[in-house]
Structure formats: C-alpha cells, structure tokens
Amino acid sequence: MSELVVIGGGPAGVTAALRARELGAEVILIEREKLGGTCTNGGCVPTRALAKAAGSCGTRSSLPTMASGAWGRG
C-alpha cells in the first residue's frame, strides 16, 4: 500500500487527498491554518457573500426581505 503526504488543505490539496484515497493510498493531509484554504476561508466564498450582500443592500426593494430574515434563501 502506498503512502502519500499532501501539504496544504485548500481545494487542490483536498482534491488530491480524496483522489489518492479513492485509489487506495494511505493519505496524511497537513494544513497549517484552516482547512479549505483561500477559496473557502478568504477568497471565493466570502467574496461572493459580501458581493451579494453589498448588491442587495443597494436595492431598496430587498431591504424588507433582508430585515425579515428571509434574505439568502431564495
């Protein structure tokens, strides 16, 4: 059985680790900060959430929906 050490728990590292597991390798994933990497913790997801919030705030018609707590469900 082969062993693999993946350094970095961003999208690339997690994908590599999962694929290696599918192929039967023993995998150790090392992440020094937060699992998920830039995309999950600082890039794509937060950026898109902030962009959507900023866009919605600029639309007066959306404010009652946001205030009622239903914002983001539809």
Ligand X SMILES: Cc1cc2nc3c(=O)[nH]c(=O)nc-3n(C[C@H](O)[C@H](O)[C@H](O)COP(=O)(O)OP(=O)(O)OC[C@H]3O[C@@H](n4cnc5c(N)ncnc54)[C@H](O)[C@@H]3O)c2cc1C
Applying CB under 6 A, which residues contact ligand X? 7-13, 30-33, 37-39, 43-44, 47
Least distance to ligand X, CB of residue 6, Å: 9
Q: C-beta of 39: minimal distance to ligand X in Å? A: 4
Q: Which residues are within 8 A (CB) of 16 and not within 5 positions of it... i.e. 6 or more apart?
A: 6
> Cβ closer to ligand X: 26 or 33?
33
CA distance 50 to 56: 10
- Distance (Å, rounded) from C-alpha 10 to C-alpha 3? 20
Residue 47 sits at the vertex; the CA angle it makes with 13 and 68, to the nearest 5 degrees, is 125
Least Å distance, CB 34 to ligand X, is 6
Q: Which residue is nearest to ligand X (CB)?
A: 10
